[in-house]
Copies of this chain bind each other. A is one copy, B any other.
Amino acid sequence: MNDYVTKSRLLTEARRLFADQGFRGTSVRDITSAARANLGAITYHFGSKDALYAATLETVFGDLAACVEHAARGPGSPLDRLEAVTRALFAFFRRTPEAPQLLLHQLAGTSKLPAVAAPFVRRNLAAIVGVVTEGIADGSVRAVDPTLVAFTIVSQAIWFAVVGYQIPATVGLDASADDFATDVEAHVVEVVTRFLVSEG
């Protein structure tokens, strides 16, 4: 097995295990056995378990920021692109369930956003703020605080990723979890659009 394959397997297994069990609940041996690597492989490729954890968070937050930036740069009006950003966040969390799990473990353990997350949070914010600012400049969006718009989009997408699929069963809704997910995504788009749209 070559070095590149080993390194990539370590990252994949670390992501899964840290998401399931948290940083402290996951041993170096858990990760190396799952990746079928020798016990020294983490030190060799990453330097330490801490550095592997940071690398794991970087891949997850980096993918998220790339999705948001891609949607923010897409075609259409600023309102269209804010819809695309909202839908990109929901889609990212749908296909990356480790992301909210990693965040929950981190926050439950330390109550802090990890330091390594800060540049990615800033990239997400900058992407959304850029589109809102453009909409304000061309008159399609009201003069609102773009940072607060980012909060409204991101907070609802994350909280939905964290507990959303459990809501129908918890509150006794008729809708299936998947139908509810579709409804919530469309609803958040509408909430954001109604907040932003200029009065005629």
Interface residues of A (CB under 8 A from B): 22, 101, 104-105, 107-109, 111-113, 117-118, 121-122, 125, 145, 147-148, 151-152, 154-156, 158-160, 162-164, 166-167, 170-173, 183-184, 187-188, 190-191, 194-195
Identify the interface centre among A22, A118, A152, A155: most chain B CB within 10 Å of its CB. Answer: A155
- Which of A148, A163, A188 has most B Cβ within 10 Å? A163
Residue numbers in B under 8 Å from A195 (CB-CB): 190-191, 194-195
Once A121-B171, A171-B122, A194-B195 are accepted as A-B contacts, the answer to whether A187 and B111 lie under 8 Å apart by CB is no
Question: How far apart sit A164 and B154, CA to CA, in the bound complex (Å)?
Answer: 12
Across the A-B interface, give the 8 residue pairs with the lowest CB-CB distance, nearest first.
A155-B159, A108-B108, A104-B108, A148-B187, A105-B108, A155-B156, A191-B195, A118-B170
The DSSP consensus for interface residues of chain A is: helix
Determine the distance from Cα of A22 to Cα of B155 in the docked complex, in whole angstroms.
24
**Set of chain B residues within 8 Å of A158, measured between Cβ atoms:** 159
Shortest distance from the beta carbon of A127 to any chain B beta carbon, whole Å: 12
